Chain A
C-alpha cells in the first residue's frame, strides 16, 4: 500500500523564543528585508547611457504606467544577495544526502569552462558555419553517453529529467503510432518518482501501478499479469528508489517486448551504474540521464538541469529535433524533418533551441576529468559509501527490506521510531541542528516514514564516520526519550519550523505594497 499520509505540515506548539537582539540579527546571521522594502524604482545599480532623441516606433503601445520594480545600487545588491546566500545549505557546506538527487561535488573547473566566450557567448541561431566547436562538444558528449549507456541514439534537447521522461514516452507513443497502434496504459511501479505517473498522464495514458514485492523490487510476474496489447510501456527506475537493483530487469524487458511494449528507464539513479552496467545491455529502450545528478552540473537551488535521453535502435528513428548526425569529419545539425536522414521520423520538437549547452560543457568536463576508469570508480565509491552508511546504522535504525546490500542509496523506514513520539520529520530536523542536510524523507511512498540516504562518492571516510556517529547519537537519544531534541528542532538554523499549512491555506505568493494608512474620517 502506498503511504499517502505524507509529512506533517504544521509545526508542534510554538517553543520559547531565544533571547532577542535589537536588530533581530544573530551575529553572522543577518535578517534581510525584501528588495521591495529596501529598494526604490528610481535607484539603479547599472549605469546606462540615455539614448539621443529619436522618434519611437512603438505605435500606441508605450508603457507609461509605473511598474513598481525596485532598484538597488551595486553595493546594496551585493549585500542583499550575500546575506540571503548565507541562510542556505549547499553541497559545499557539508554532506547533502538527499536520496535520488545525487548531490555530489560540483567542480569549479566546469564553471570556468562553461563561461568561455566560445560556449557562453554563442547564439543558437547564428550561422551553423560559425559554431563547429559547439557541435563538436555536443558530439563528444554524445559519444561518452552512448558508450556509457550502450544505447545507439540520443536526444539532447530535454531540459531536465522530467522533460526527458516526456521525450522518452513521446518517442514510444510515436513508435506505436508508426506501427498503427494506439495503446492506452503505462505501468508504473509504486516506488517510482512522481514525475513518472505525471508524465504518462500528461500524454493521455492511464497509469497502472505495479506493486512492490516484499523485498522492495518489482516482480516480473506482477508485470506479466498487467501486460496486454493495451500497454504501451513500463517506466522502471533502476536502481529503484529503494536503492535496490531491479534484479528481474532482463525478464521484465523480455516480457514487455514480447507484449509489443517498451521499457522506459528513469535514469535518476544512473550514478550507481556508470562504467559498470550499460542500460542498453539490459533491454532498456529509452532512459533519461540527469546531467545535474550523475555528471555533477550544479543543482542551483532547483535547476537548471539537463535530461538527455538515450534510445535503443527500435526508438532511434523517432528522436526529436534538433539533433546531430555524424558525417565524415564533421557533425551535421538537423533542425527540420526535411533534413533528417532517410528512415528518420522525428516526433517533433521539445524546446525552442538545442538543449542545455551550458550543462553539456560542465558534464563533459566532469567526464573528461574522471575518464572511463574514474567514472567506474566513482560509481563504485558511491555504492560503497551508501553501504558503509547502511552498515553503520543497521543496528539502530530499521531497514524495511532487511540488511542486504544496497546500491548508491540506502532506505530506512520509521519502524524503529515507533513509540518514541518522534517522527521521520523530527529526526530530519534534528540532523539540521547537527550541521547536516537531511536525507530525502517520506519518499518513496512504499515504506512508512521513509528516510532515503544517498551520500554520493564525494564524501570522505572521515565525513561518513562523523555522519554515522551523529545519526547513532540521535538514534540513542530518541530511544532515551529525549523528545524535545527532535520535536523542537531545528533550534540553530536560520529559521525554526515553518507553518506550511498557513502558507497553503492563505497563499501569499508575491509582495504587495502595504495598504496606505487609513485617512482620518471627517
Chain B
C-alpha cells in the first residue's frame, strides 16, 4: 500500500520494542467483541491507474460548465481563474500546513491571512475583517449571532430578497438556538419596504445586494432606519466581483458585511469548498467570530504576524466563545487573495465592468425574445426574467439543447408558486457572444413549443 511506509519487518520490530505480541494488544481497551478482526466489507486497495479510471468515469457523467453556454449563478459564479492561482495554492508549504499555532514556522500563512484581511476590509469598505469563514451562508448565520451578542436582542429581520438558502441557513441556527427570525415575501422587482418591520426588539436587518434576483440596493436608507432603532445592518454579498463596480456596503452604513468569496480564485466544485468573507467595524472586533491574524514583532524586533484576540475563541474560552468555529477556509482564502493581488484594483474594476457589460447585453437580448420579460431596473452580472410557463421545465429543456440557462427560482424556494415562472440568469467574463446567441436561440425555441 503506497501510502504506508512501515514494512512487515518494521512492524515486528516496533511491536517488540513496545513489548507486545501483536497490534491487537494495543486495542485492549476496546470492549470485547467490538474489535473487528476481518477488514471491513469494502474493496481492496487499488493503484493510481484504476482510481483515475473509476473517478474519471464519474466525472465524465457530469456536464462541466466549461463545455456549454453557461449562465448559472445564485451564489456561485463561473469566473476565469488565472493558472498562477492554482499553481501557488498547491505549494506544499501552503497546502500541507495547518492553523498557524507555531508562528515562527508559519509566517507564510499568517502574512497571507493578514493581507487577505486587509483586502477584504478594503473591498467591503469596512475597517476589519477576519481570516475567513466556511462560506457566505454560514458567515451570514454567524453575523446574525454576532449582532444578537452586541445588541442583546434575539430577533433578526431578513430581507425577502435574501438568497433563500442563506435565509434557511440563518433560520435553522436561529430556530435551534431559540432566536426569532422574521422575513417578508420576496419582491422580484426589488422594491421591498423593510423599514416598517423594524422595531426595538430587532437586533439586525440582513439585506443582500445584489439581491437574489440581481437587483442592486442603496443600503443607506435602511441603515439609517436600523440604527435609529438600535439595530445593526448586516449586508450580504454573494458575488464578490460586484464590489469592483458597485458601491461597497461599508460605504452605505453596514455594520457587518458578509460575502461569498468563491468568485475570486475558487472553482465551482459543486458548492464547496468556498470561502466566507466577514468584515465589521473596529469597535465590534472582540465580538467577531473566527480567526484573526495580527501584526507584532519577534524578540529581534522584526515585523511578524500571529493569531491574535484568541480570547474570543473556543480553544481558550470553551462554552463562552464567540463561535464554535475552528478550522475555517484558509486555502480558499489564499486563492482569493492571490487572484485579487493579480487583478489589483485596475484589473478588478475592468473584470467587473466586463461582467456587467456581458450581463447587460444578455439581458437586452433575452428581453427581446417574445414572451420573456426582464424584471430588473438595476443589476450587476445577474438578473431575473419571467418566462411563460414553468421555469424549471424551461431550464430542463434548455439543458437538453446544451444550454445551462440559469436557476429557476423555484429550485431555491418551491413554496412561492407565484414565482415559479422566474429564472435567475448570470453572465460573467467567460461568456462569449456565441454563448449569448446560443442562449437566445434556444430560449426562443423552447418557449415557442
Q: Which residues of A contact B127 (CB under 8 A)?
A: 510
- Tell me how far the C-beta of A387 lies from the nearest C-beta in chain B, rounded to whole angstroms: 5
Which of A116-124, A223-231, A416-424 sits within the interface? A116-124
Q: Name which of A352-360, A469-477, A478-486 contacts chain B.
A: A352-360
Known A194-B321, A303-B327; contact A120-B269, beta-carbon cutoff 8 A: yes
Within 8 A of A (CB), among B308-353: 308-311, 313-321, 323-332, 334, 338, 340-348, 350-351, 353
Task: Contact check, A44 vs B64: say whether CB atoms are below 8 A apart.
Answer: no
B436 within 8 A of A: no
B224 CB–A CB distance under 8 Å: no
Contacting pair A380 B350 (CB below 8 A) = no
Question: Could you tell me if B178 and A90 are in contact, using CB atoms closer than 8 angstroms?
Answer: no
Cα A290 to Cα B380 with chains together (Å): 38
* Interface: A179 (CB within 8 A): no
Cα distance, A367 to B44, chains bound together (Å): 10
Task: Report whether A384 and B76 are in contact in the complex, using a CB–CB cutoff of 8 Å.
Answer: no
Contact residues, B230-264 vs A (CB, 8 A):
243-248, 251, 260
- Measured between beta carbons, the chain B residues less than 8 angstroms from A49 are 354
Question: C-beta contact mask, B148-191 vs A, less than 8 Å → 1, else 0?
Answer: 00000000000000010110110111011110000000000000
Could you tell me the distance in whole angstroms from the C-beta of A246 to the nearest C-beta in chain B?
Answer: 8
Task: List A388-416 residues whose CB lies under 8 Å from chain B.
Answer: 388, 390-392, 405-407
B68-109 to A contact mask, C-beta < 8 Å, 1/0: 001010111010001010111111111111111111111111
CA distance A377 to B90 in the complex (A): 28
**B222 within 8 A of partner (CB):** no
Contacting B379 at CB < 8 Å: which of A57, A298, A349? A57
B108 touches A85 (CB 8 A): yes
Q: B215: nearest residue on chain A (CB-CB)?
A: A59
Please tell me if the beta carbons of B346 and A71 are within 8 angstroms of each other in the complex.
Answer: yes
Most buried by A among B40, B216, B313: B40
A510 pairs with B218, CB closer than 8 A: no
Q: Is residue B203 contacting chain A, with contact meaning CB distance below 8 A?
A: no
User: With the chains together, A305 CA to B325 CA distance in Å?
Assistant: 11
Please provide the chain A residues from 327 to 360 with a CB less than 8 Å away from any CB of chain B in the complex.
Answer: 335-336, 338, 347-359
Bound: A160/B173 CA distance, A: 16
B10 at the interface (CB under 8 A from A): yes
Asked if residues A162 and B285 are in contact (CB atoms below 8 Å), the reply is no
User: Is A123 touching B123 in the complex (CB atoms < 8 A)?
Assistant: no
Bound: A440/B102 CA distance, A = 10
- Is the CB–CB distance between B270 and A44 below 8 Å? no
Q: Are B353 and A121 closer than 8 Å at their CB atoms?
A: no
Taking the nearest CB of chain B, how far is it from the CB of A183, in angstroms? 13
Q: Which residues of B sit under 8 angstroms from A59, Cβ to Cβ?
A: 216, 218, 377-378
In the assembled complex, the Cα of A50 lies from the Cα of B349 at a distance in Å of 10
Contact indicator B93/A90 (Cβ below 8 Å): yes
Complexed CA–CA distance, A56 and B182 (Å): 34
Query: Would you list which residues of chain B between 187 and 229 have a CB under 8 Å from chain A?
Result: 216-218
Which B-chain residue is minimally distant from A468 (CB atoms)? B17
Q: Which of A166-174, A257-265, A309-317, A514-522 sits within the interface?
A: A166-174
A276 touches B35 (CB 8 A): yes
Number of interface residues of B (CB under 8 A): 211
Q: How close is A170's CB to chain B, nearest CB, in angstroms?
A: 5
Q: B118-160 vs A: 1/0 string, CB under 8 Å?
A: 1101110001110110111110000001000000000000000
* Residues of B with C-beta under 8 A to A125: 72, 74-76, 407, 411-412
The winner among B14, B136, B260, B356 for most chain A CB atoms within 10 A is B14
**Is B287 interfacial (CB 8 A cutoff)?**
no
Contact between A204 and B178, CB atoms less than 8 A apart: yes
- Per DSSP, chain A at the interface is loop
What chain B residues lie within 8 Å of A98 (beta carbons)?
98, 101
Cβ of A44 and Cβ of B99 under 8 Å apart?
no
Query: Quick check: is B58 within 8 A (CB to CB) of the other chain?
Result: yes
Residue of A nearest to B374 (CB): A57
Cα–Cα, bound, A493→B158 (Å): 49
A63 to B137 Cα, complex, angstroms: 25
Q: Is the CB of A65 within 8 A of B251?
A: yes
Using known A-B contacts A493-B104, A503-B295, A509-B117, determine if residue A353 contacts B46 with beta carbons closer than 8 Å.
Answer: no
Closest CB in chain B relative to A299 CB, distance in Å: 4
* A90 with B327: CB separation less than 8 A: no
B166 engages A352 (CB within 8 Å): yes
Q: From residue B246, how far is it (CB to closest CB) to chain A in Å?
A: 5
With A41-B346, A71-B347 given, is the CB distance from A301 to B94 under 8 Å? yes
For the complex, give the distance between the alpha carbons of A442 and B291 in Å.
19
Pairwise interchain contact A348-B357, C-beta atoms closer than 8 A: no
Cβ proximity bits B291-314 to A, threshold 8 Å, 1 near / 0 not = 111111111111010101111011
| A195 close to B314 (CB less than 8 A) | yes
Which of A40, A195, A306 meets B344, CB within 8 Å? Answer: A40
**Is A3 close to B, CB under 8 A?**
no
Q: Does B434 contact A (CB under 8 A)?
A: no
- Chain A residues within an 8 Å CB radius of B19: 391
Contacts of B275 in A (CB 8 A): 304
Cα separation A247 to B26 with both chains bound (whole Å): 13
Q: Does A88 contact B (CB under 8 A)?
A: yes
- Given A118-B60, A384-B23: A63 and B346 interface contact (C-beta under 8 Å): no
Cross-chain contact A277 with B30 (CB below 8 angstroms): yes
Minimum CB–CB distance from B235 to chain A (whole Å) comes to 13
B11 lies within 8 A of chain A by Cβ: yes
- Chain A residues near B121 (CB-CB < 8 A): 510
The contact sample of 25 A-B pairs, CB cut-off 8 A, is A42-B344, A45-B344, A58-B380, A63-B247, A69-B344, A78-B84, A81-B94, A82-B91, A87-B93, A120-B268, A120-B269, A124-B270, A195-B314, A195-B326, A277-B35, A277-B36, A350-B138, A357-B270, A371-B46, A374-B45, A495-B103, A498-B298, A500-B308, A508-B294, A509-B308
6 shortest A-B CB distances, which residue pairs?
A71-B344, A353-B271, A118-B59, A348-B172, A300-B331, A133-B61
Given contacts A82-B88, A160-B326, 6 further A-B contacts (CB under 8 A): A42-B344, A52-B357, A69-B123, A303-B273, A336-B414, A498-B104
